[in-house]
Amino acid sequence: MDFIRRLVSIAAVAGIAGAACAYPADAAEAPPAFKISAIIGLSGPLAVIGADMRRGVEIALEERDSKLNGIPIEITWDDSEGKPQVTVQKASQRIAQGTSMIFGEIGSPPTIALSTLTEQREVPLLVTFAADNALTAPGRLHWTFRTGKNVSSTVLSTAGLSAQLHVTKVFGITPDYDAARDSWNVFKTYAGQHNIAIVGEEFHPTPNRDFSILIDKAIRSGADGLFITSQGNDAVTLLKQGAEVGLKDKMKLFGGGVVDEVIMRAVGAAGVGVGSTIRYHWSEDFPANKAFVERYRKKFGENPSANAGDSYDGMRWWLRVVENTHSWDKKDWIAAMAGNVIQDSVEGRKEMGACDHQARQIALAGIGIENTAADLPKYAMKVTAVMQPGEIYKPCP
């Protein structure tokens, strides 16, 4: 964290001169455009996630003709490469240019660095993917809002999968960064309360191109379940290399966000039977979701992924709140979003916690399947469980 703070301080100083030329953050008059600065990993191990997040945001803007209270919405896309230093540098540049808000990041380390900067510079930050609990610790951040899930809600959903899969001895493979370690630690606490033995754990760098040693350790541990928090390209690599040694025949595989529709297309049969939390699913039976899926299919020729759905829903919600303030003062937007309730999200009712800026919402879990229907992808996800907000989130006082 000291490293991240140094990055933020350097970037903030570098942006001061440019900030003087930008239009005032609290301007009473409408600016020439509502500027959205999207800063996410469009290359690197999480690029597949970033690409779909971009698609979801594009749909959210197109459905309102890229306008907000009569002015055009301008969005820029900067590739952070998933690196905190690059994220902070590019965000500082966009803030100096007078951005109205920032959308990002994917990984938790760059998102935490980004949130530190936006708090200093008083610029709204919309987060739809990064799950680190610290982002929405009560009272910690004023300018950051997360419309996606956090670690705690994700792991509680994952824990339910362990019961469905009847595992009793679990080995963990986890990326070596704080949010992933937190997920694993939360699961270990759950396991201790439910007579599930933890028989081993391994942590890996990301990106990681060789999981063979870790997979061998998991098999030798005698575990009947493998808990995975690797995501994106790392998840693809792990599952494919696991398939080469028949890993699924030796133990049940499950984890938080380890597979979704995009990953299933990439790994095919290697993902069938793998249990995972699902951030969002195109099959959810809500009017707003049906409309979104129809628009998405028309534009991209396929069903939206979990990451596309999450980013669409978060941006749609945020822009609606800003629009309803009829104000160009960023402080008014922040005040309106805290505690806001959206009844017609793609996943039904969501409530933004006023105490922590974390959205309370349903959580999904499911398994990878092989489809037989002609109009569906051959490999996809099937929702098997839905948890209600009251089961996974603490209410604000």
- What whole-number distance in Å separates Cα of residue 3 and Cα of residue 87? 13
| Side-by-side strand order, sheet with 341-345 | 341-345, 348-352, 359-360
Whether 315 shows a pLDDT value over 90: the answer reads: yes
Task: Count CB atoms within 10 A of the CB of residue 14.
Answer: 14
| 375 and 233 in a common domain | yes
Q: Tell whether 127 and 228 lie within a shared domain.
A: no
Separation of alpha carbons 303 and 290, rounded Å: 11
202 with 214: CB under 8 angstroms?
Answer: yes
Kindly state whether residues 105 and 219 are assigned to the same domain.
no
- DSSP structure string for 86-113: HHHHHHHHHHHTT-SEEE--SSHHHHHH
Are 57 and 76 found together in one domain?
A: yes
Higher local confidence (pLDDT), 21 or 390 = 390
Give the residue, 256 or 241, on which the prediction is more confident: 241
Crossing angle for the helix pair 2-19 and 84-96, to the nearest 10 degrees: 20
Q: Are residues 164 and 145 in the same domain?
A: no
Query: How confident is the prediction for the chain on average, in pLDDT?
Result: 90
Q: Summarize the confidence of residues 257-273 as an average pLDDT.
A: 93
Place of tokens 């309360």: 193
CB neighbours of 110 closer than 8 A, spacing ≥ 6?
A: 41, 80, 82, 83, 84, 86, 87, 88, 104, 130
Phi and psi, residue 45, nearest 5°: -65, -20
Candidates 357, 395, 374, 387; CA nearest to 133 is 357
- Looking at residues 80-99, what average pLDDT do you find? 96
128 domain residue, yes or no: yes
Q: What mean pLDDT do residues 6-15 have?
A: 44
Which contiguous run of DSSP H or E holds residue 379?
strand 379-387
d(CA 372, CA 298): 23
397 in any annotated domain: no
- Domain for residue 116, yes or no? yes
Question: Residue 353's domain is classified under what CATH number?
Answer: 3.40.50.2300
The domain tally of the chain equals 2
Place of tokens 């793609």: 346
Closest to 311 measured CA to CA, from 1, 18, 75: 75
Quote the pLDDT of residue 160.
77
- pLDDT at site 381: 93
User: What's the pLDDT score for residue 28?
Assistant: 57
**Which DSSP letter does residue 371 get?**
-
Of the given ranges (195-199, 230-234, 345-349), which has the lowest mean pLDDT? 230-234
Pick the more confident residue, 192 or 373: 192
Asked if residue 80 and residue 34 are part of one domain, the reply reads yes
For residues 195 and 338, membership in a common domain is answered with no
Tens of pLDDT, residue by residue over 150-190, are 988 888 888 778 888 899 999 999 999 888 898 899 899 98
Mean pLDDT to the nearest integer, 223-238: 94
Cα radius of gyration rounded to whole Å, the chain: 21
pLDDT beyond 50 at 17:
no
- DSSP H or E run through 390: helix 389-392
Same domain as 92, residue 39: yes
Domain span holding position 89: 2-149+287-360
274 in a structural domain = yes
Let me know: does 106 contact 129? Beta carbons within 8 Å. yes
Residue 162: closest CA among 224, 234, 249: 224
Looking at the structure, tell me whether residues 356 and 385 fall in a common domain: no
Per-residue pLDDT band at 128 (split at 50, 70, 90): very high
On whether residue 243 sits in a domain, the answer given is yes
